[in-house]
Amino acid sequence: MMDSPSTDGLAFAKMHGLGNDFVVIDLRDGAAPPPPGLVRALGDRHRGVGFDQLALIESDGEADLALRFFNPDGSASAACGNATRCIAAREMAARGVGELSVRTGRGILAVEDAGDGLTRVNMGAPIFDWRGIPLAEAMETLELPIEGTPVATGMGNPHCTFFVEDAEAVALEAFGARYEHHPLFPERANVEVVQVLSPDAIRVRVWERGTGITLASGSCSCAAAVAAARRGLTGERVSVHLDGGTLAIDWRADGVWMTGPTAHVFDARLTPEFMAATS
C-alpha cells in the first residue's frame, strides 16, 4: 500500500475524511510499531506532522488487514471510523475489489465501495449496557445523571451525547474538556453536542478524547445518530452535518453503517533525525 520503512526513514501516508485527519503507517512487512514518544511527536501539528488519529496497518489471519489507532496524546483508541474508511478505500483500489474485511478493536468490520467516491463501513452494534461503554457505576444510559441528561453509548469507545437547541452556541473547547474527564467515564469520553434539524438530519460538533475538537468523527457520528434515534428525535437513517462535511448514518439490524468521502493527501517519510530525536 505504501513504501516500506527503510534506513532513509519511516514511510507514512496522510489521509482525511471530512477533515478528520490521520497519519497511516503500514507495518505489514514486519516493521516495529512506533514507540509512544514518536506517536506524540508525530501528532504535534507544529513540530511533527499532526493528526487526529494515528492508524497502524497490520496483517491478520482472518481479515484482509488489521488496524490499531492512537490519539495525539499517545493513548489508544479501539475505533476510528473515518480512518477505517480512508485506509480501506485505498486498499480496495489497490486490490481491485469492492469489499474488504478490517479488524479493529470492535472486531472484524465490513467495508464497501459505495460508488461516487464514497466508502461505507459497518461500525458494529452500539453498546448500551453501562459495563460495556464503560461507566463507573450501574445506571440507565439513555439519560445520565449529569446536567443536560446526556446519552451514553459505546461504539468501541465511550461517548457522551448532549442534545442542545443551538450547537453553534456551545463553547465546545471548555465543554468538551469538562465532560471528557467526567468521573462517570473511567476511560474518558468522546463528547458530542447535537442539534436536531429534522427527523432525518442532525448537526453535530465533536470533542474527541485525547485529541480535542475535530472537524469530523465517524464513531462520534454513529453515537450521536444512535442516541437521537433512541430518544425518538429522529429515525434510524440520518444525515450528520459536521464541521468538515456530511456523513450518512444508517442504524440497521446488523450494525451502524457509515458512508462518506475519503481523501489520500500524500505519502512521505519521517527523517531518521526526527525519529532518533523523538523515539
Rounded Cα–Cα distance for residues 190 and 196 (Å): 19
pLDDT at 131: 97
- What value does the CA radius of gyration of the chain take, rounded to a whole number of Å? 18
Same-domain status, 95 and 165? no
Rounded Cα–Cα distance for residues 189 and 186 (Å): 8
Q: At 248, which CATH number?
A: 3.10.310.10
Same-domain status, 193 and 103? no
Same-domain status, 231 and 274? no
Which domain range does residue 238 map to? 151-253
Same-domain status, 169 and 99? no
Rounded Cα–Cα distance for residues 59 and 26 (Å): 9
Same-domain status, 99 and 184? no
Residue 31 banded pLDDT, cuts 50, 70, 90? confident
Asked if residue 236 has pLDDT above 60, the reply is yes
Asked if residue 246 is part of any domain, the answer here is yes
Asked if residue 139 is part of any domain, the answer here is no
pLDDT at 30: 85
Same-domain status, 16 and 107? yes
Among 24-38, 137-151, 202-216, the minimum mean pLDDT is found in: 24-38
Rounded Cα–Cα distance for residues 1 and 150 (Å): 41
Asked if residue 100 is part of any domain, the answer here is yes
pLDDT at 32: 87
Asked if residue 23 is part of any domain, the answer here is yes
pLDDT at 8: 73
Mean pLDDT taken over the chain: 94
Same-domain status, 155 and 84? no
pLDDT at 279: 66
Tell me the per-residue pLDDT of 193-227, one tens digit each, with 9 for 90 and over.
999 999 999 999 999 999 999 999 999 999 999 99
Same-domain status, 38 and 69? yes
Asked if residue 6 has pLDDT above 60, the reply is no
Asked if residue 65 is part of any domain, the answer here is yes
Asked if residue 2 is part of any domain, the answer here is no
The residue written with cell numbers 512521505 in the block is 268
Asked if residue 2 has pLDDT above 70, the reply is no
The count of structural domains within the chain is 2
Same-domain status, 273 and 198? no
Residue 84 banded pLDDT, cuts 50, 70, 90? very high
Same-domain status, 196 and 239? yes
DSSP 86: H
Angle at 197 between CA 235 and CA 127, to 5 degrees: 45
Please state whether 233 falls in left (phi above 0), alpha (psi between -120 and 50) or beta.
Answer: alpha
Residues in the chain: 279
Asked if residue 201 is part of any domain, the answer here is yes
Asked if residue 250 has pLDDT above 70, the reply is yes
Record the pTM: 0.92
